[in-house]
Amino acid sequence: MADHHALSMDAVDCPALAALRWDEPPEGPVIVLLDQRRLPSQEVELVCTDVPALVEAIRTLAVRGAPLLGIAGAYGVVLAAVRGFDADEAAGMLAGARPTAVNLAYGVRRALAAYHRAVDGGLSAERAAKAALAEARALHREDAEASERMAAHGLALLEELVPGGGYQLLTHCNTGALVSGGEGTAFAVAAAAHRAGQLRRLWVDETRPLLQGARLTAYEASRAGMAYTLLADNAAGSLFSSGEVDAVLIGADRVTADGSVANKVGSYPLAVLARYHHVPFVVVAPSTTLDFGTADGSGVEVEQRPGQEVTDFAVPGEAGTVASVPVAPVGTQVYNPAFDVTPPELVTAIVTENGVVSPVTKVGLAQLCARSRSGNGMMSI
């Protein structure tokens, strides 16, 4: 079950964005989400009291973005355990909610493993749920720390790639606090550049069809006081040819062992444009997005989403409703992959919290992860 209530957020003081939190009101533990379907026109919290509601929130992108999906999945296992539902069944529902972001299954697995370790150790169901909660909170905290470290590594990389500062950075989709336990991934690097006085402009791809750029990145850039300009996805080629892009910064939903990058659809064409125009193409992702169990991009399951997302325009209506207004003729066939895969040879560098890999190679990624093996990387479970 899920319920909405308005957030009394004062736009003036712009507190840090919290996309998700665990709460324990008297009526029982809940997961509270900032409903990203309603942004930017409405800052509304969605309160999930059970796993089916959280699965629906994940499927409809009320909560989204690879690292945050992992955190949501971990808390989802806890929600099941504390409310007496089968944790394994809940884990299967959560991990299957969206297939491409490897972080979701990772977060679910990590909380479930903590729960089972406690049960196998003879602890009560209540104590086992608390063990899972501690693991979910650790993942949440680690992701916030990873954001800070990626921002620092990414800013240092920009100083190398684009001497002289005053960066004009192009980003795609949304990779800020709305996808993270902290300030995000690629957007966190742009925010660090902004705070360092080195961001001349953030070019924001609208990111059709769900407009994560126009709705969410523009919202976050505005809150951060950045100079940003929105562009239609189709205008990116013209922008590159104008010479006004110093580097591309994007996130990732899955990086395979060879360095192939699954990310929001539209990322691959940007990589091709960047290569043609000799512009650095930088991927920023925490180690929880690295998937050494998948050899290369051909092994990535790319989520295919409903055609209505392309045939219709979602128009914010009264009282927080979102109307779906058809644009294409009824019966129109639609191709709507949520992601695409960029081959490693088109990626200038991958920035993680443990450092930078450039050029992007299987060996380089493995060596980077070896440095984090005892940390929160995929290798730890």
Ligand X SMILES: CSC[C@H]1O[C@H](OP(=O)(O)O)[C@H](O)[C@@H]1O
∠ CA 328-318-173 to the nearest 5 degrees?
A: 55
**Measured between alpha carbons, how far is residue 263 from residues 22, 129, 171, 352 in Å?**
27, 33, 12, 15
Looking at the Cβ atoms of 103 and 130, the one nearer to ligand X is: 103
* Residue 127, CB-side half-sphere exposure with 13 Å CA sphere: 8
367 is in an annotated binding site: no
62 is in an annotated binding site: no
User: Least CB distance from residue 67 to ligand X, whole Å?
Assistant: 6
DSSP structure string for 128-144: HHHHHHHHHHHHHHHHH
Smallest Cα–Cα separation from 213: which of 228, 198, 227, 225?
228
Residue the block writes with tokens 């951060």: 224
Looking at the Cβ atoms of 132 and 249, the one nearer to ligand X is: 249
Looking at the Cβ atoms of 98 and 130, the one nearer to ligand X is: 98
Element of type H or E holding 85: none
168 is in an annotated binding site: no
Looking at the Cβ atoms of 130 and 254, the one nearer to ligand X is: 254
110 is in an annotated binding site: no
Say if CB 145 and CB 182 are below 8 A apart.
yes
Smallest Cα–Cα separation from 210: which of 93, 324, 98, 46?
324
Ranked by CB distance to ligand X, the top (closest) residue is 251
| 253 among known catalytic residues | yes
User: Least CB distance from residue 149 to ligand X, whole Å?
Assistant: 15
Per annotation, catalytic residue among 205, 246, 253, 340: 253
Residues forming contacts to ligand X in the complex (CB under 6 A) are 64-67, 173, 175, 179, 185, 212, 250-251, 253, 263-264, 338
Kindly list the strands in the beta sheet with 30-34, ordered across the sheet, starting from the edge strand earlier in the chain: 2-6, 44-48, 30-34, 20-23
Residue the block writes with tokens 């691959």: 268
371 is in an annotated binding site: no
Looking at the Cβ atoms of 66 and 136, the one nearer to ligand X is: 66
User: Least CB distance from residue 253 to ligand X, whole Å?
Assistant: 5
User: Least CB distance from residue 265 to ligand X, whole Å?
Assistant: 8
195 is in an annotated binding site: no
End-to-end alpha carbon distance in the chain: 31
Looking at the Cβ atoms of 81 and 226, the one nearer to ligand X is: 226
Radius of gyration of the chain from its Cα atoms, rounded to whole angstroms: 20
Helices (H), 96-124: 102-120
Residue 293 dihedral angles phi and psi, to the nearest 5°: -80, -10
User: Least CB distance from residue 129 to ligand X, whole Å?
Assistant: 27
64 is in an annotated binding site: yes
User: Least CB distance from residue 300 to ligand X, whole Å?
Assistant: 12
Query: If 0-12 CB within 10 Å is exposed, 13-18 middle and 19+ buried, where does residue 374 land?
Result: exposed
> Helix crossing, 125-161 with 186-195: angle to 10°?
60
- Positions marked active-site: 253
Return binding residues for substrate. 64-66, 98, 212, 263-264
Which residues are known binding-site members? 64-66, 98, 212, 263-264
